[in-house]
Structures are given as structure tokens and as C-alpha cells.
Amino acid sequence: MHIEQLEYIVKVAETGSISIAAHNLHVSQSGISQSITKLEDELGVKIFKRNRRLGAVPTNEGKTLIKKAYEVLMKLHEFKEEAQTYNTVHTGNLKLSSIPGFMLFLLEPLSAYKKAYPNVNIEISEKTTQHIIEHVQNNQLDIGLITIYDDILKKGEDLIFEVILEGKMMVAVSKTSPLALLKTITPQQLMTQNVILYNGDYVKQFTNKLISQFGPLNMLFTTDNSAVIKKAIVEGLGISLAPDFTFKNDPDVLSGEIVPLEIIEFEQENVGLGWVRSDNNHFSINTKKFLEQFKFYSRMLNYSPRNE
């Protein structure tokens, strides 16, 4: 048994596809397939069912083994982090920025990064997606955390993007709202509510598509301040729209003060959470090491709700 075999089964479970996993890991599809088959033969357990329509689907036994593989990889990651604190000294600066609402995604990877590299100075700021891209292009930031969608990918050939999490837009309502008793909401129901929107490019694009199909929204206000939006939702002043991955670690969602609802009867494209950096800026060791932490914790976050 080899560590990469555990990485392969975890990545295939995340993506649901051997071909996508191979692409993401920069290895051949046949290499992953053969490696997983050897692992299954060694263990005497079938981990995945191969299906042309559904892709690679974990068996019941496979689900348990994949979770164990995650635990092993986490411990190995912690082991490497601990070793780095003894034999590696990195100094310098790491400048990064996030769009409002996504700072929660940075807490764990930043904490782990700072523990591993205590001599690196970290500067964090909140900006809109457009401002982050401009600062990245001007080499004022090492990395930016943004929502990624088709129009963003056309911003410049000198930019490098990577999607870490994929999701879709959902509606956030107060627990006191009658809508909170529902799991879904239709565009027609949405049109009857007071709406508070974050002033972001993708949110504007999404709402414009809604409006073009179903008519105007009852706009209460728009703002760049995500804390104000959350407070207004909790107090029942209105509802809002946000990608589903923003709710995963949100304290108000976890406590039940804010209830996310799936939007039905409306076709929408997936939106991604990921990073952007400039191809013209030196890809420093500090940036590389931070992205390793960010990807690792994002993968764990992405895996849990899909397979529990």
C-alpha cells in the first residue's frame, strides 16, 4: 500500500470521476485506475463501483475506507507540518485578499500556515473581486480568494485561476421567516420578498438573469458589507443570495439563525470558490506553501457534506 493510493481514492470520491481525478492530480487515468484496482485486490474489498453514467461511486465499504484514508492523510499532513517547524525557516511576506464573506475559509489554513512558518509576515485584506484582480495584476497581492465564473476567466491572459470548491446560489432567510420551514424556494416566491444583495459582480449577473425571466425584485438595499447583510437577515428585514459554500462554516447558519434554501425551477450555472494570482509575479515559496494549506483544508470541507 502506498500513500498515493489513498490520495487517489480520496480524489476520485471527491470528483466522482477517475478521469477528472487524474486531470486534477496530473497523472494518467489508467495509472489511477490500475492503482485503485491493486489496492482493492490487496485489501480484498471493492472500494468503487464503475458506472458509465454515474462515474465512480463508492461502495458502502468504500465510503468507510475513504473516510479512514482522509484521516490518514490528515495525520500525515500534520506530521509534515510538525517536521517543518523543526527544520525549515521561511521569512518574508505573504499578501493576500479575500472578497467579504469568505474570510472564514482562511482561518484554519492561515493558522496552520503560521504555525509551520512563524517568521512569515501575513497581510490580509477584504476587497471586491474586481479590486482583487486589479491588485493581483499590479503585483500588489500574492494571491486573491474570489468567486470564479466564466466572465472572470476572461479578465486577462496574465492571470492564473484555480477553482477549489464548486457550488450554486442559494437564498438565505431568517429562522423566523415562514420560508425557513421550507427546504426550497421558487423564483416566484423570491419575487415577493424584500431582497438585500451583496454588491458583487457575480451576484449582479445572477440577479439580472432572474429579473430577465421573472420580473423585478423588491430591492431593500445593496452593500459591500457582508456583516450588515447578515444582521439584516437575522432580524428578518429581508432575504439575500449567496453561493452555498459560504454557508458551510458560517456561525449564524450553524446556530440556526440563518436558514439556506435551495432555488428550484430556475436553471443556473455553477459558481466556484478559488484563487487567482499573476503569472507575471514570482510564485514565491510562501505563496506555494499557503496554497498547499488552503487546498488541503478546502478539500476536507468539500468532502464531508457530500459523503456523510
Are 294 and 275 contacting, i.e. CB atoms less than 8 angstroms apart?
A: yes
pLDDT of residue 106: 82
pLDDT of residue 222: 94
Strands 143-148 and 120-126, bridge-based pairing? unpaired
Find, among 235, 241, 202, 234, the residue nearest to 219 by Cα: 241
Tens-digit pLDDT profile for residues 9-51 = 999 998 888 888 888 888 898 899 999 999 999 999 999 988 7
pLDDT of residue 140: 93
Residue 76 has pLDDT above 90, yes or no: no
Q: How many CB atoms lie within 10 A of CB 190?
A: 21
Q: How many CB atoms lie within 10 A of CB 20?
A: 16
Are 74 and 300 contacting, i.e. CB atoms less than 8 angstroms apart?
A: yes
pLDDT band at 86; cut points 50, 70, 90: low
Distance CA(168)–CA(243), nearest Å, equals 5
Distance CA(227)–CA(223), nearest Å, equals 10
Domain parsing of the chain, residue ranges: 3-84, 89-164+273-307, 169-263
- pTM of the entire structure? 0.62
Residue 286 has pLDDT above 60, yes or no: yes
In this structure, which topology does domain 3-84 adopt according to CATH? Arc Repressor Mutant, subunit A (1.10.10)
Q: Which residue has the cell 459591500?
A: 224
Q: What number is the average pLDDT over the span 83-94? A: 68
Class of the domain covering 89-164+273-307: alpha beta
Residue 305 has pLDDT above 50, yes or no: no
Q: Output the DSSP codes for 153-173.
A: GGS-TTEEEEEEEEE-EEEEE
- Tell me if 89-164+273-307 shares its fold with 169-263: yes
pLDDT of residue 141: 94
Q: What number is the average pLDDT over the span 207-225? A: 93
Tens-digit pLDDT profile for residues 117-163 = 888 899 999 888 888 999 999 889 999 999 888 878 877 678 999 88
Q: Output the DSSP codes for 235-257.
A: TTS-BEEEEGGGGTT-HHHHTTS
Q: What number is the average pLDDT over the span 258-271? A: 92
Residue 176 has pLDDT above 90, yes or no: yes
Of 102 and 40, the structure prediction assigns the larger pLDDT to 40
Percent of the chain with pLDDT over 70: 93
In terms of CATH architecture, what is 169-263? 3-Layer(aba) Sandwich (3.40)
Of 305 and 49, the structure prediction assigns the larger pLDDT to 49
pLDDT band at 64; cut points 50, 70, 90: very high
Percent of the chain with pLDDT over 90: 45
Residues with Cβ within 8 Å of 111's Cβ and at least 6 positions away in sequence, in order, are none
Per DSSP, the three-state class of 241 is strand
